Amino acid sequence: MTHGGSVLDASKTLDPAFHMIPIIDIKDAESPDQAARRRVALEIRDACINVGFFYVKTHGIPQATIDEAYEASKQFFALPLKEKLKIDHTTTHNHRGYNGLRSQNTDPENDGDMHEAFNMGKDHFDANVPDVKTAAAKGSMMGANIWPTESLVPGFRPAVVDYYDASAKLGKVLFPLFALALDLDEHFFDDKTKNSAANMRLMHYPPQTGPVDDRVIGIGAHTDYECFTILWQEPGIQALQVLNSSKEWINAPPIDGTLVVNLGDQFERWTNDIFKSTTHRAINRSGVERYSIPTFLGTDYDVKMEPIPSCVSAESPPKYEVMTSGEFFKAKVDASYAAR
């Protein structure tokens, strides 16, 4: 990496008023040929600097794993509200479990998101992860999952955990590509992502028809909080929109055989804004139910987000206070529920 860095240079010369979200085939992500891996990383670099969103093709998550999580999700949200409320997120310190319609407000200008969700994270912990109770006392996002009664949703937990594990594994494939995209050692994030700080949400958006209050939409305009998100969207339903620098909303429809990847605020902080954490929202005007599953991949909660040297210079001094990813993430998530 040269001083000043090609990443920084590129960000100065390109205009991110995108109208299309690129599709990137990551079949060579783990190729033994370093040049092939680097080619994928360069495509990712362009997308990260200009768009903050891309679709990944050949992502490796088996269709059966997706189908089972989708079915499990439909089964869960069809439960009576009183059952879902038995695992309400307010019973946990880290917002695991169920959040009902309008219980979250992602855009502070809005009046509650028109989605319900089931929130979870890694379902078992390695011995080196801090004890759940200690972590909770420290206000961490660590902690166990809570699950609906098995007999009400048979097979829910294994189906959800399988998809979680598959998307976390895809995250492990993507981190080295992001590192390469930043001209870092491919293993840069390895020791920063040992404890699976990945969180996942099953989301359900009821259809919104007729006049819709702009302040009550599926999920209000927001950026994600972690390094990046892997998003599965129900096929055939347009709902997700991404804001470009001309303040136009660009549709991000589901595309067969792909998943959406978008960057979050942690990467923006690591890269001093060179990687874009792009604003997005979702509104379901399709007339039918919509389901989606985002998995949010961040670094371990005790990792300090220090700007990557190639991303700062005399002309571009560090913009962000250095804090741990856990402090940052908890503050953001708490705030998204606070006003409700």
Q: Residue 114's binding partner, choosing from ligand AKG, Fe ion, none, with beta-carbon cut-off 5 to 8 A by kind? A: none
Question: What is the distance of C-alpha 141 from the center of its chain?
Answer: 15
Per-residue tokens: 174 = 């993507």
- Residue 21 identity: I
Q: Is 234 in the site for Fe ion (CB under 5 A)?
A: no
> Which residues on adjacent β-strands are paired with residue 118?
98, 202
Q: Nearest distance from residue 292's CB to ligand AKG, in Å? A: 3
**From Fe ion, ligand AKG, none, interface partner of 292 (C-beta below 5 to 8 A by class):** ligand AKG
Asked whether the CA dihedral 206, 212, 215, 219 is positive or negative, the reply is: positive
Answer with the entry of ligand AKG, Fe ion, none that 258 interacts with (C-beta below 5 to 8 A by kind).
none
The whole-angstrom separation of Cα 229 and Cα 222 is: 13
When CB distances are held under 5 to 8 angstroms depending on the partner's kind, the choice from Fe ion, ligand AKG, none that residue 153 binds is none
Please tell me the count of residues contacting Fe ion according to CB under 5 A. 1
Q: Smallest distance from the beta carbon of 148 to ligand AKG, in angstroms? A: 20
Least gap, CB of 106 to Fe ion (angstroms) = 7
Helix axes 34-50, 6-13, angle to 10 degrees: 40
The C-alpha atoms of residue 220 and residue 207 are separated, in whole angstroms, by: 15
Q: Does 113 bind Fe ion (CB under 5 A)?
A: no
| Shortest Å, Cβ 222 to Fe ion | 6
Distance CA 66, CA 167 (A): 10
Q: Where are the alpha helices (DSSP H) in 182-316?
A: 265-270
Min separation Cβ 240 and Fe ion, Å: 9
Q: Decide which of Fe ion, ligand AKG, none touches 261; Cβ closer than 5 to 8 Å per partner kind.
A: none
Is residue 224 near Fe ion by the rule CB under 5 A?
yes
List residues binding ligand AKG (CB under 6 A).
201, 203, 219, 224, 231, 233, 239-240, 280, 282, 292, 294
For residues 19 to 48, the per-residue mask of contacts with Fe ion, x marking binding by CB under 5 A and - elsewhere, is ------------------------------
Q: Taking a C-beta distance cutoff of 8 angstroms, is the pair 289, 205 a contact? A: yes
Q: Which residue from 116, 117, 135, 115 is spatially nearest to 125, judged by alpha carbons?
A: 135
